[in-house]
Amino acid sequence: MDKFFLTISLILSFLALICLYRAIFGPTVVDRVIGVGVVGTKTLIILLLIGFLYKRMDMFVDISLVYAILNFISVLIFSKYFVRKGVL
């Protein structure tokens, strides 16, 4: 089962890496914001799987929870303050 979790983590890391293309070269600011958000959601699952690999699930689940809340709040704050008329 460890091998399965390691494979899934590697697939998710690769997906996060190719999402970073849109976060760097995105045509508008909004593309960059949503690119960072997508990388964050994949990192959330990777953190839970790393918790199984290190056998410390009770610690890593808290880190993942904080990561989810921070990701949500950061997208809201970006949408409120960075995306205005004339910025794009």
Partner 1 sequence: MSLLMVSNIIVMVFISVGVLFLAAGTIGFLRFPDFYSRMHATGKCDTLGIFLSCTGIALYTLQDGLSLANIQVSLKIMFIAVFWSLGGPTATHALLKSAFKAGILPWTKDGKSVIEWPPK
Hey, what long-range contacts does 40-46 have (CB within 8 A, 24 or more apart)?
Answer: 40/67, 40/70, 40/71, 40/74, 41/71, 42/12, 42/13, 42/15, 42/16, 43/16, 43/67, 44/68, 44/71, 45/12, 46/9, 46/12, 46/13, 46/16
Q: Does 58 bind partner 1 (CB under 8 A)?
A: yes
> What character string, x for contact with partner 1 (CB under 8 A) and - otherwise, covers 11-30?
xx--x--xx-xx-----x-x
**Residues in touch with partner 1 (CB under 8 A):** 1, 4, 8, 11-12, 15, 18-19, 21-22, 28, 30-31, 33-35, 37-38, 41-42, 44-45, 48-49, 52, 57-58, 61-62, 64-65, 68-69, 72, 75-76, 78-80, 83-85, 87-88
